[in-house]
Amino acid sequence: MRYIPNSPAERAALLAEIGAPTVDALFSTVPREVYRTGPPPLAPPMSEVELRRDLGRLAGRNANGAEWASFLGAGLYSHHSPAFVGQLLLRGEFLTAYTPYQPEVSQGTLTAVWEFQSHVSLLTEMDVANASMYEGASAFVEAVLMAERLTKKRRRVVVSGTVHPEYLVTLRTYLANFPFEIVVVPAGADGRTDRAALAAAVDETTFAVGMQSPNAFGLVEEWQAAADVAHAKGALAVGVVNEMFSLAVLRGPGAAGIDIACGEAASFGVPPSFGGPLVGFLSCRDAFKRQIPGRLVGRLETPGGPVFSLTLSTREQHIRREKATSNICTNQGLFALAATMTLSALGKHGLREAAIQSLSKAEYFKKAVGSLRNGRFSVAFPGPSFNEVALRCGPPVGEVLERLQSERILGGVPWARLAPADSSHADLLLVAFTERTRREEIDRHVAVLGGF
């Protein structure tokens, strides 16, 4: 309580009002084994020289990324980011920029945000895109809630079981106290959405139908399937993308009837960084733009040239709380800027080239696995994929990863880590490829598999 200037009498009155006997009682839900009432057992203070030496020792325990081959993915993909991107992000006008509420002094920031929106709209083939989602999972939830506001008085959301497991967990967490029913349609035997089961789950009470492509197993889905079953019952179709490079070679969700597209754009210029920070996105059709959450920058042509400003601001800071579309406040402008600079540097042809390389290397891996003679590994699902492969392992996945790590290979992400309750796929390993993956690294990976 040291930073709260309340007297003991005032604190007692506050506790009495909420029915708590003591301040400690407010933390009764914290497990006792981790709850501390005293200072933590930290080492004594160090000098600057000692501290730098100790931090260097700790840093030396990390794997050197230049010496390891990485096949990690499962929603976060390590693509190349031009060197100038990280350097420009350090400029004060970008690094410290917050919400550009004053357009007369924020034209640079507003222009960058507008450019990001334009890139997202082009990639997803949608009319409008925003620029203020925390990351892909919460963007998915915001898209679902947006669909509910647009359809009104409906209570069911139907989601394909091939959507990223962590996105599904986030959806359940957000909607835990809403009067909504979440129906997850299990994946078919081919690892893709069961279209018949999806259609059977959608009824007149459904407000949103969610699908991801490439899905959590790395397989390409048919956006039109979600759009058709949703529209047949008056619901909206939500399309999830967490590998945006795929849209350089695959049809965008907007072109296939999806109403709201959302997901993760960190592949463009934002390193995985142990899981964050990230840059979510959300785009939609023009008819739905007044319900779009987060920030939206508009452009106006004037005799003196284009000018930019925030527009259609429907967050709770601007309008009545009960009418607000979202309470998202954090400005993702820095990471949106990183994505914008990366996309601008790659250009249309560079983006497609990187996507084709990612796809081609995944296909090379599939073929190499198919030629193994030990019969211990196989590609789990034969359908079309982009840059990620679900590998079915005969040996325990943990043992496979340990063998790969002994050769300085981060072999992939075990499905059990993403969906621990899904015992039917406990033998799956997700192996991802980008333009940074070298053929020699793929050959080393396959050689380790062949050694079992």
pLDDT at 1: 41
Which one of 3.40.50.880, 3.60.110.10, 3.40.640.10, 3.30.70.270 gives the CATH number of domain 83-342? Answer: 3.40.640.10
396: which 2 tokens? 């325990």
The residues of the chain that CATH labels 3.90.1150.10 are 65-79+348-450
Rounded-to-integer distance, Cα 263 and Cα 243, Å: 8
CA distance 73 to 245: 13
Residue 281 corresponds to which amino acid? F
Instruction: Please answer whether residues 193 and 211 qualify as being in contact, where contact means their C-beta atoms are separated by less than 8 angstroms.
Output: yes
Burial class of 314 by CB neighbour count within 10 A (0 to 12, 13 to 18, 19+): middle
User: Rounded distance, CA 381 to CA 223, Å?
Assistant: 19
SS3 call for 16: helix
Q: Are 239 and 226 in contact (CB under 8 A)?
A: yes
Closest CA to 210 of 259, 169, 174: 259
pLDDT in tens, 232-291: 999 999 999 999 999 999 999 999 999 999 999 999 999 888 888 899 999 999 999 999
Q: Which two tokens stand for residue 374?
A: 């030990």
Those residues whose C-beta lies under 8 Å from the C-beta of residue 159, and which sit 6 or more positions away, are 168, 171, 182, 183, 184, 185, 209, 210, 211
Phi, psi at 158, each rounded to 5°: -110, 125
How much is the pTM?
0.88
Instruction: Mark the ranges of the chain whose per-residue pLDDT is less than 70.
Output: 1-4, 314-319, 329-331
Q: Say how far residue 24 (Cα) sits from the centre of its chain.
A: 36
Q: Which of 84, 100, 102, 163 is nearest to 132 (CA)?
A: 100
Q: What share of the chain is helix, strand, coil (3-state, %, to 5)?
A: 40, 15, 40
Round to whole Å and give the CA distance between 279 and 258: 21
Contact assessment for residue 351 and residue 245, using Cβ atoms and an 8 Å cutoff: yes
Is residue 100 within 8 A of residue 106, CB to CB? The reply is: yes
CATH 3.40.640.10 domain residues, the chain: 83-342
Count other Cβ atoms within 10 Å, centred on residue 203.
Answer: 13
Decide if 418 contacts 165 (C-beta within 8 A).
yes
Upper half-sphere CA count for residue 187 (Cβ side, 13 Å): 21
Per-residue model confidence as pLDDT tens digits over 32-53: 888 888 888 888 899 999 999 9
Closest Cα partner for 436 from 353, 332, 358? 358
Q: Domain 65-79+348-450: what homologous superfamily?
A: Aspartate Aminotransferase, domain 1 (3.90.1150.10)
